[in-house]
Chains A and B, each alone.
Chain A
Amino acid sequence: MTRVLEVDNLRVSFPGANHSRFNPVDGVSFSLQRGETLALVGESGCGKSLTSLALLQLIPAPGRIDRGSVIRLGDTDVLSLRGEALRRIRGRRIGMIFQDPMTSLNPVFTVEAQITEGILAHFRISKAEARDRALRLLQEVGIPDPAERLKAYPHQLSGGMRQRVMIAIALSAEPEILVADEPTTALDVTVQAQILEVLDDLRSRRGMAVLLITHDLGIVAGRADRVAVMYAGQIVEEAPTSRLFSHPSHPYTQGLFASIPRIRGPLQRLNPIRGSVPAPAAWPTGCRFRPRCPKAFDRSETEPPLIPIGPDHRMRCWLAETPQPDSPR
């Protein structure tokens, strides 16, 4: 397998009270192989979106990426890039799609203008060739009547169609990695299914790696090869998808599963995690999940590292060092 992306000890900081800084992303490490989908899963405020923005140095001021963080794209040290060199990476090697296609598309330009803009920026080809490519891209993402749609403005398209256009734009420069940040959260469930099919299809056909950022474990189940669960700025559990779903081990991951309403199986009262996610500036010392954890014990007062607990399976919890029966969920 070819490793296309490596993130090591990524820390993003923002200014807090009294000239201090706090870290909404605090020591995140993961890698991405060619043709693989890795899902970053977590609730709002866990740092998953900031992690994805950091990949292209898109952290909004006054936030910044702290010294010591490493983002390696193939042989390229992304965090050392500035200006033109950085622009050549954005879109060209890492493409991005976001939750709300309406706010990412420019309302006063046609679909054609917005897709060809990226193509012309990255490739030395004529306008006519760029238009042909745009047409093929719209076909590829499943837009019916693509020649007509090229002339359309964003407001003339449905939410699902707009998201397809966004995907086409992200694909236009043929990136090695596609970062999809909650790509279907704003869409209806039947349209969501369509968009996820498109993404899956493109990944297998183009051999792209996909970083899927989502809060929805249901989306992850059928799509991702591996899952990293984030809580309070850190990855707290990471495993191959089937392993994570059959043996969720971190108390936070277990709490998430117990909170999800199910469409099948016995109907039970939900068993939610108590409390709510603390604000980044107020994360507790020791294990960050400790105040909400039903299994917290004396060692939780010390911050745990990610500890291996099985094949490609790690969790940030001292229980990993306490012998436990390996019982499936």
Chain B
Amino acid sequence: MTTQSVDPLVRVRDLVKHYTAGGLFGRAAPVVRAVDGVSFDVARGETLALVGESGCGKSSVGRTILRLQEPTRGQAFYEGVDIFSLDRNALRQLRRRMQIIFQDPYSSLNPRMSVGAAIAEGLEIHRLSTRAQIPGRVAALLEEVGLDPTYARRYPHEFSGGQRQRIGIARALAVQPSFIVCDEPVSALDVSVQAQVLNLLTDLQRQRGLSYLFIAHDLAVVRQIAHRIAVMYLGHIVEEGPTDQLLSDPRHPYTVALLSAVPEPDPTARRNRIVLSGDLPSPSNPPPGCPFHTRCFHPLKSTRCRTEVPVLRPVSGTLAACHYAESTPRVAEVSVA
């Protein structure tokens, strides 16, 4: 790991989250290895994107470091404080600093609570405002996220998806956090509204010095907001690096494939789409060795890939977990079947 003169705001080390599923009708319950040893840092004012396809464990990482669910193993620190060892009171204090916004704000807003009451809830729990100050604070937050302050009296069902996401953001901002987990915040939105919300998140970061852990599956969206990207596959980070570097010269074959599959709105773009064979293996029965070897197209793929788990190591500008990362072909070099 790199040595940094300034401590990161959030530091995660060897995080593991396993779920024990079912055990229905007395069958042995398989263990789902959702997150299987993940480490990363998020600096102040920085956006780290956690990217991957469904089931890769990216959302579990976000929820576990906020202790919305308990970790199986590993450590997470906020400003050096060990998040996983906190008692209820200390955890509540910490939740002022660490917030989350969800993909579908509708399911996270109480339908019978007015927008104003939903935004004020955090202010009341953490006693951040006097009763008299609350309406003014709520109005200011609504304005900050681009909504009319009079909306405070209305209810969630009266709003469109984009407006609800803005309400979700206002609610997270109310307690003045410095770190926000954004869990697929624009995935459910139409493209014109998605762009509005991405711009809003960018502006808020600049104005408030926020740090984001931005969980997403869309690399083009992530490019718009992230300073660094970590690509996840089957519970592991397989590549991590600065956004420009990782997108222009990916070193892990999975990153190369993911990048090649992004549909580009340009009919003249040279299309060399790598179509991965087969399905994602089940996280309850991951393959031995490199988790990606069952679908890998690397020309040097060998028995070593099937037996030895590759570690995340520096390779020309990014960290990549591939035994042969130095010679990973670029998208243009891969012959398409």
Chain A residues within CB distance 8 Å of chain B: 43-44, 144, 158-161, 188-194, 197, 215-222, 241-242, 245, 255-264, 267, 269-273, 276-277
Residues of A close to B263: CB separation below 8 A: 189, 192-193, 216, 218-219, 221-222
- CB of B257 within 8 A of CB of A218, answer no
- CB of A44 within 8 A of CB of B275, answer no
- CB of A260 within 8 A of CB of B265, answer yes
Nearest-neighbor residue (CB-CB) of B225 within chain A: A261
**Contacts A197-B275, A219-B263 given: A273-B258 contact, CB under 8 Å?**
no
Whole-angstrom distance between the Cβ of B258 and the nearest chain A Cβ: 7
Nearest-neighbor residue (CB-CB) of B56 within chain A: A188
Q: What is the CA–CA distance of A192 and B195 in the complex, to the nearest angstrom?
A: 22
- CB of B163 within 8 A of CB of A276, answer yes
Chain B residues within CB distance 8 Å of chain A: 53-54, 160, 162-163, 190-196, 198-199, 202, 217-221, 223-224, 247, 257-269, 271, 273, 275-276, 278-280
- CB of B53 within 8 A of CB of A261, answer no
- CB of B220 within 8 A of CB of A259, answer no
Contact of A261 among B221, B257, B261, B267 (CB under 8 A): B221
Q: What is the CA–CA distance of A219 and B223 in the complex, to the nearest angstrom?
A: 19
Contact of B198 among A161, A256, A267, A270 (CB under 8 A): A270
Residues of A close to B54: CB separation below 8 A: 159, 188
Nearest-neighbor residue (CB-CB) of A279 within chain B: B160
Contact of B224 among A190, A255, A270 (CB under 8 A): A270
Residues of A close to B279: CB separation below 8 A: 158, 160-161, 191
**Contacts A158-B279, A222-B267, A276-B193 given: A190-B257 contact, CB under 8 Å?**
yes
Which of B218, B263, B264, B275 has the most A CB atoms < 10 Å from its CB? B263
- CB of B162 within 8 A of CB of A276, answer yes
Contact of B267 among A158, A190, A221 (CB under 8 A): A221
Residues of B close to A277: CB separation below 8 A: 160, 190
- CB of B190 within 8 A of CB of A263, answer no
Residues of A close to B163: CB separation below 8 A: 276
Residues of B close to A272: CB separation below 8 A: 192-196, 199
- 5 tightest A-B CB contacts, nearest first: A218-B263, A272-B195, A188-B53, A270-B195, A43-B190
Residues of A close to B276: CB separation below 8 A: 190, 194
- CB of A43 within 8 A of CB of B192, answer yes
Whole-angstrom distance between the Cβ of A255 and the nearest chain B Cβ: 6
- CB of A188 within 8 A of CB of B217, answer yes
